[in-house]
Structure 1
């Protein structure tokens, strides 16, 4: 993995910082904004879009990145299975 975004860059046994990859809550369409280190990567319509964004940052093997690991990804407003708009 390159340092293009994701993983927490700390050694084994060290407490890690907050995840660098943040997936924001679904909007009124069910789409989710994705940010890394405060920089917008895009708007995801499904979980596979996030791997595409990571690959575009230069991350090697982005399709193998564990998007379900809470140490690596901060899923806000629902986890990786939540893509429905909030109730009005």
Structure 2
């Protein structure tokens, strides 16, 4: 393994309000309500070199980077 290997980041399934916990290993990094929040949480954790929407280092559980059910009222067509 490369010495620069990044931690495994998990964006957990949406809660009832649509927010999603973000963790790296056993460490809770924050709560995201939007994709931009995930980007900011990773930046604050010095993990901003991870491409949020495409990285294999992020495990999107319960939906991908576009799944934010709490925001559905803003995306009605």
Unaligned 5+ segments in structure 2 are 71-77
Q: Could you tell me which residue of structure 1 aligns to residue 75 of structure 2?
A: none
Cα RMSD for the two superposed structures: 2.4
- Tell me whether 1:72 sits opposite 2:30 in the alignment: no
**C-alpha distance in structure 1 between counterparts of 2:61 and 2:40, whole Å:** 20
Unaligned 5+ segments in structure 1 are 11-18
The structure where helix makes up a greater share of residues is: 2
**C-alpha distance in structure 2 between counterparts of 1:51 and 1:24, whole Å:** 15
Summarize the alignment of residues 1-88 of structure 1 with structure 2, pairs less than 5 Å apart.
9=5, 20-59=8-47, 62=48, 65-69=50-54, 71-85=56-70
TM-score if structure 1 supplies the norm length? 0.65
Q: Which runs of 4+ in 1 moved over 6 A?
A: none
Q: Could you tell me which residue of structure 2 aligns to residue 16 of structure 1?
A: none
Report which structure shows greater RCO (CA 8 Å, sep ≥6). 1
TM-score if structure 2 supplies the norm length? 0.74
Corresponding pairs, count: 68
